[in-house]
Amino acid sequence: MDILTISNLAAARALDGVYVFEITPNGYVREDGEQVVAVVGDFEMGPVDTVLSIGSAKEFARKLGGYGSAPSGGEDSWRGYSGFRALSGKQWPGLRAVRASRTGMAQATVRIPVVSSVADPAADGVDLVVKAKWKGNYGNSIRVTSSAASDSSLDDGFKIVANFRDRNETWDNLTPGMSSAEIAAINNASELIEVSFEDNDDTIKGAWPLTSALSGGSDGTPLLVSWTNALTLLAARREVKLMFTAEPDGTTVTWSALNAHIKSLLTGNGAAPFKMAIVSGPEDQEEGAVASAMADLRSDRIVYAWPWRRQNFPDASPLHQDGKLSVPANAAVACALANIDPVYDPASIYGTRFINACTTGLEFEDLSRDDYVSANSHGICALEFDPDTGYRVVNGVTTSLQAGLEPIHRRRLADFFLTSIARALKPYQNLPITKSWKDDIVGVITDFLETQMRDISGIPARLLGYELDIVNVNDSASEAQGVFNILLRCRIPASARSIVLLGEIGTNVRVAVLEQDAA
């Protein structure tokens, strides 16, 4: 009999033979990636305080809005565009989004008479109650058209068509006698509305087809606590590595308050481990104000992206003549960090490629070299247009000039090694501390580190050298207490921040190779 591979040990008992049962090692180290980004915003629609998985800007617009017309108050109050402005065109390997709630939010609704109490005094009238799927002012833009084969009788059912901007949903075969399960199926499947039937002795059914507008929807008033709750919710998600916020209301919720909360989440007691945040400030923030704000936020887990820019959005052209809207820089920087390997500096050509790929028609105020030098000294992650490479992060650092804090890519690499190895050690917890146990742990760690010292699939080596010590950091007393220490020293690559070309060019320059050739 040939050798067989089996998926469980019980299969080997069916017949004598030689079987192969492959067991994944307990301590196998999986690379802890950094692809998942999370955003909190005062978005137009969708559930509040709920983490949604988003695959594209188009899906974002469908679930959370992004194509709304402006309410009164000018461009800064375009809540309908808040998500679109931050995310349109971005290339996200993984995105989580949370819509912050507001106080006083209300669902738009309309009652459509479907059975008239006048036609049959002995029977109750019935209304079809249609509500917007989510709370918010956007629901007032939903229109519902009801029609039936016969206006005089709905025994054979009727249908409704819900319309919201360029989206339409059709629901057939509705009857007042529908079961709760049938109604629930519609409500679960629809992205625009919820329906129910309610008795109404005063209802009078008019002529159909009838188009009805929903009303009573309200956005309410933004609250700081709603934003902070949403940020806390995201910070608790293990898969989220990078967080940023879409622009806040600016009157009741400010950038400074949100950024302060983000810092407490990432650096305070009980902080969410191994995460980073990309923050911004108000659109008109001058460099001096940015530097002042950054002083309070200084951390190697916080990237302060600046300045704002105007970006081309074709869908904005009906509302803005030039089709350009102002957007904070944090979304573009988050896009770059989400897509590049942690070994790369976001200021490198690899970060530049992703910023260029996810942005079109950028415009922002030209900054001088002195501006960028000052920004660098304050740890500000500044954008620049380079005619040779395109839009890029100039310094790509937040804190390299402050003792004890690391540039972005070094912080990310350190997190990569620590989280990858630490999670692989979980299966060894609470097992007897024996020689074989120690050998297994050392083997797991060294196998992983050796692979990181080689170029893999075009990604340069993330590690130049390492030392692993379990001898000098442990003794019988510590082991007796159940504590086992592992000292790991890793040398990671530096970033070529400044390339200095020493040029000596002239007719009298001695070039050793040429002199030798002449001889």
CATH of the domain at 350: 3.40.50.11780
Q: What is the per-residue pLDDT across 264-320, written as a single tens digit (0 to 9) for each?
A: 998 876 677 788 899 998 888 888 888 888 888 888 888 888 888 777 766 555 555
Mean pLDDT of 233-254: 87
Contact 373, 295 (CB under 8 A): no
Mean pLDDT of 206-229: 90
Is residue 29's pLDDT more than 50? yes
Q: Is 234 exposed, middle or buried (0-12, 13-18, 19+ CB in 10 A)?
A: buried
Identify whether residues 315 and 184 lie together within a single domain.
no
Strand partners, 304: 279, 380
Pick from 408, 430, 458: which residue ends a domain? Answer: 408
Identify whether residues 225 and 265 lie together within a single domain.
yes
Does some domain include residue 418?
Answer: no
Does some domain include residue 248?
Answer: yes
Does some domain include residue 28?
Answer: no
pLDDT at 260: 92
Does some domain include residue 427?
Answer: no
Number of structural domains, the chain? 3
CA dist 498 and 370 (Å) reads 16
Q: 466-470 — which CB contacts under 8 Å span 24+ positions?
A: 466/490, 466/491, 468/442, 470/438, 470/441, 470/442
Structural tokens at position 29: 């180290």
Domain that holds residue 97: 36-102+221-408
- Which has the minimum average pLDDT: 216-225, 232-241, 389-398? 389-398
pLDDT at 25: 53
**Please, which residues have CB within 8 angstroms of residue 404's CB and are 6 or more apart in sequence?**
none
Identify whether residues 326 and 248 lie together within a single domain.
yes
Identify whether residues 232 and 114 lie together within a single domain.
no
Identify whether residues 260 and 381 lie together within a single domain.
yes
Q: What is the per-residue pLDDT across 181-217, written as a single tens digit (0 to 9) for each?
A: 999 999 999 999 999 999 887 777 777 888 999 999 9
Identify whether residues 53 and 194 lie together within a single domain.
no
Identify whether residues 257 and 341 lie together within a single domain.
yes
CA dist 228 and 219 (Å) reads 18
DSSP 301-346: TEEEEE--EEEE-GGGTTTSTT-EEEE-THHHHHHHHHHS-TTS-T
Question: What is the bridge-based pairing of β-strands 109-115 and 126-132?
Answer: antiparallel
Identify whether residues 72 and 118 lie together within a single domain.
no
H-helix segments, 139-203: 180-189
Identify whether residues 243 and 382 lie together within a single domain.
yes
Structural tokens at position 487: 């000292």
In the Cβ-directed half-sphere of 451, how many Cα atoms lie within 13 Å?
Answer: 14
CA dist 112 and 91 (Å) reads 43
- Which has the minimum average pLDDT: 35-44, 107-116, 386-395? 386-395
Does some domain include residue 19?
Answer: no
Does some domain include residue 14?
Answer: no
Does some domain include residue 239?
Answer: yes
Identify whether residues 143 and 276 lie together within a single domain.
no
Identify whether residues 396 and 453 lie together within a single domain.
no
Identify whether residues 277 and 368 lie together within a single domain.
yes
Does some domain include residue 495?
Answer: yes
CA dist 65 and 23 (Å) reads 47
Strand partners, 289: none
Pick from 388, 408, 428: which residue ends a domain? Answer: 408
